[in-house]
Structure 1
Amino acid sequence: MEIKRIEENKKQFMDLLLLADEQESMIDKYLERGDLFALYDNGLKSICVVTGENSDTCELKNIATYEAWHGKGYGSRLIQYISEFYKDKYKTMIVGTGDLPFILHFYEKNGFCLSHRIHNFFTDNYDHPMFEDGIQLVDMVYLKKELA
């Protein structure tokens, strides 16, 4: 298993990025200013994008694993890696996600705890209704993890 920081041609990973954030114009808002990490294990399995939000906080903006590799620990391994990578630069990592139990559980098992909620984020910021497992995403739930 190898994790690489990608500094050029980040849009080559758009197919995978769109699995976690299905509107390309929203990805464009953070992709170039963020750090992109790709996890390879006999081929590309998972990616994530992290942005610096202020001097104390970074944000995990996007994390995605190809569906065939869900449940194999690749997403968790990426979170472990970036948590270690950023621990000397930031105090806290945040992540925003839809209000779905299985997603919240994933982040909680990786050291995140509930922080706050932005009401109507998905309905106000996306040009189409967003659904995950048949449930419409409305509010953005933020979780945080202390890095230091």
Structure 2
Amino acid sequence: MPDLRLRRIRLQTERFLPLLLMADDRQAEVEALLRVGTLYGLFVQRRQPVSLTVITDETAAFAANGPRAHLDGGLRGKRVAECRLLVTAPAFRGKGLARQLLMRVCGLLDTDCDAMIVGTGTVPRMDRFYRGCGFAPCFVLPHHFSEAWPAPIWEDGILLDDMQYYARHIGRTGPSPR
């Protein structure tokens, strides 16, 4: 792949909606994530996005009194970033670009965060992908997909219900979650 560049995208993030909506078709949710998160992308020759991700700061959620402090993932009190969306353009799938984007963003955040988390459906392909990126299972949100989405979601022939979260230590110091 020639000249892949990682970019933090600050302006006109809405122009990337068509690609982001391939990861989550709820436009209002994606737009809300773009308002609170940071959009990163891998670009070919600075123009064409081949893979995008939205990262949010979840540190407050895992503080001692935060809404996620009760989750048993070894993350309480840690500086936590969450990969909320990860998508690769169809013509570029299967080339390791989502993995490359995720790894490069983890490297970029290693001085600001202790851990990166990501939630996904309980699908073997996704489990292999995130484990292959150095993530380990850390907690489950039961019935997340069946309660949060208006219609059933199927992936790889599996009806999604629980959301499995994975964590990866990315900070330069301190123990890894779990």
Quickly name the TM-score band, shorter chain normalised: over 0.9
- 1:58 to 2:61 alignment: no
- 1:29 to 2:32 alignment: yes
- C-alpha deviation, 1:129, in angstroms: 1.2
- Provide the rounded CA distance (Å) in 2 between the counterparts of 1:71 and 1:6: 24
Correspondence for 2:11: 8
- Provide the rounded CA distance (Å) in 1 between the counterparts of 2:31 and 2:162: 21
Query: Contact 1:34–1:52 (CA<8 Å) still a contact in 2?
Result: yes
Comparing 25-34 with 114-123, which one deviates more in the overlay?
25-34
Q: Which has the higher strand share?
A: 1
Correspondence for 1:136: 159
Query: Contact 1:95–1:143 (CA<8 Å) still a contact in 2?
Result: yes
- Provide the rounded CA distance (Å) in 2 between the counterparts of 1:64 and 1:109: 17
Query: Contact 1:10–1:32 (CA<8 Å) still a contact in 2?
Result: no
Aligned length in residues: 148
After superposition, the C-alpha distances for 1:48-103 in whole angstroms (9 at most, x for unaligned) are 01000116101000010012211111111111111111110010110001110111
- C-alpha deviation, 1:137, in angstroms: 1.1
What SS does structure 2 have at the residue aligned with 1:116? strand
- 1:47 to 2:69 alignment: no
- Provide the rounded CA distance (Å) in 1 between the counterparts of 2:14 and 2:163: 25
Identity %: 30
Q: TM-score normalized by structure 2?
A: 0.79
Correspondence for 1:110: 133
Q: CA RMSD in A?
A: 1.3
